[in-house]
Amino acid sequence: MKIRGIEVDFNFLDADDVEKFEKEAERVKKECEIKGKQQMTYSQTIREECKVIDNFFDNVFGEGISFKMFQGKNNLEDHIKAFEDIVKEKMEQQKGLQNTFDRYQPNREQRRYNQYHKGNRR
């Protein structure tokens, strides 16, 4: 898959990859809450938030990926957008998988409805 034009070895349908993603996403949430309670200047806050997101990308997708993505810059808007994009990608892939499951494994009521309306009553 690609993140900001960079190819990474990651699959949202691989349990190990998803587990790593979930663990790190939870860490981002907790660290941002902690950082939000600390007394820092605005510039320090931006750097710290970027660092949290950098660590997320490095821990999930491989060491050094954050530098490739952000070129060492601490632009919070870019970092947040990249994080949001990856979360959206996860949701899209999960939705696609669920649609596949739904298409091939309709629930019991749907199967009964289909049997009744197609004249295949037992």
pLDDT in tens, 20-75: 999 999 999 999 888 878 899 999 999 999 999 999 999 999 999 999 999 999 99
Provide the strand spans (E) within the chain.
2-3, 6-7
DSSP annotation of 5 reads: T
**Contacts with 51 (C-beta within 8 Å, 6 or more apart), sequence order:** 74
Q: What is the mean pLDDT of the chain?
A: 86
Quickly list H helices, 62-120. 65-70, 76-104, 108-117
Work out the number of other CB atoms within 10 angstroms of the CB of residue 13. 10
Residue with tokens 């660590």: 55
